[in-house]
Structure 1
């Protein structure tokens, strides 16, 4: 009661200084965990009306209790409305991925930073993002080309660098708990330590110390953080490592909580910064062997013959380096770029170009591999679905056009770099 009276008097003093007055009819006060006598006393002293939970603040519902899955519906509707408003089918995979990172993930992250997400909500949000990435809308669902946990890996580990919603949510919750322990510049945290923790550490308190609801919540938060760390005895040292590491606490926590995989050797080639995103994305699918080549579609069609040579079955290995027809294009491009290394497979080509320098010539050679893979895949699809057919000379000119477009965008003095 004393805290409320103090805050109310400060609000009145603030209004008197600025010449303002409290509008009681537009003001509400919300209660949680107080007795009826205190509640009636506060209402009588302030003259405010009692509000009811949940109510919306800064676009999110606030409640003294854990939000139900149904109360996340505003977020889900907002995500679905955003996706349905985009012409996803007319976007490339790379374009959809960029929209996910820059728009949808921004919407979700605001909520992740505030509330613990129920598992069903996390699955629903993941489904929206996954369906949009692979189909262009939320209503259509089909087999994803790459598993979602792989998509959420960093690029250095073979993913796209998306964040995992559950691990991200847990990292933000861990930060809130850590703030209770160390964030001494916060007035609320100082109040918690003064009236409840006193000289005790959040890690030393016990469930039998007091019956205070805040104390019980602190114990629950502390135990939750241990759970997030896997319940290991080294949790305290691990949390100290999070705090002492370079970068933000939540970033360090997320890096520990997320699914991990081994480093890949092809990141430098596929994710060359100068390359266009649509080239890199198709190259990423190709190196993972996840493009829908005919050998992977035998369950829905009988014809698995290569559309170029009409001799062998179409597969990733055959399509990009084993086919006699596409080999002619590769040889012409290699000759033009003065590449003499053996590139009999996509993996060997990537390993060879990983060793190219960091200068303009080295960068453009790495980009050339992604451009060539993209052109071959594009021509393959045109022949199957449009019935069109381009010659080797036409595709080589197409390659040169895209090559010099990238070079001109990144290098002003591109005339000093002559190939061929």
Structure 2
């Protein structure tokens, strides 16, 4: 509370304040460390409710609605009185997930062999074909048709480890580790043959012959540094596909775990100077002065925080956090934010205040410009 008072200037009046203890088993408020037996009544209560619904033919939407209403209200009631430990919350989350996907709080999603969507896709969309050779058509959703158009990109990140050879196509799959055989020789191999592709012939001669006792073929996915793994990682695949650039110094001011997403996105636009300020509107043939103070030349640096209106908001919000270091200059403000504050919480509050003020000022700017509303 002292830290809160030091930042906000607000202090609790002890003579006008009272403390009340409420909720089930209020004696647990005196426990320094929760044991499993302390929160077991809550787990048992939730488990009984889950089991009372398992005999009903509930669809996914019905199970989700029960979790959102009945189960969540019970957990919130306990959370209003106690600070539930991580072990308790992890157990509740596990039951959530198990009941949502399987209809039972004890059967986890990992124990299910295949999702309903995958089974439906194989039966209705793929039928007797595979993702590699199924024809594009009007069946399936927009997302499915988009996946079909990206087949060439997906196949570039796949490689087959041949063992028994039953699920690998000789011409169409990349089992050599470099490319597909059809892409290497084309469709005119019969007219050219060994005379032109003698190196490929030599490589094929040295390749091991599939054996039925070797096990099933394995699909490998490209990971870091073109190394292939037997599992698919969306994060590593994205890193292989995305356009990589050098990191910018202001990234830690924009993206951090405590940031509000919509505030962070607005700050990201401001750093890239992509907000529709007056100087950018001139390129579209539109004259626009500052909507906050009337300054003729409205730029990003003017709005944050050279504008008298915006600097007043910035000063009143973050003045105690920055002290004498607070300034209306954009570059100086960013430099101050990149420097480590005295404490970790001050460093977080500085960045959060910066993002909140930018977001609020830009909303005020747009409300005056589009709706004529003055906050």
Pairwise TM-score range, normalised by the shorter structure: 0.3 to 0.5
TM-score by length of 2: 0.46
TM-score by length of 1: 0.42
Higher relative contact order (CA 8 A, sep 6+): 1
Greater Rg, structure 1 or structure 2?
A: 2
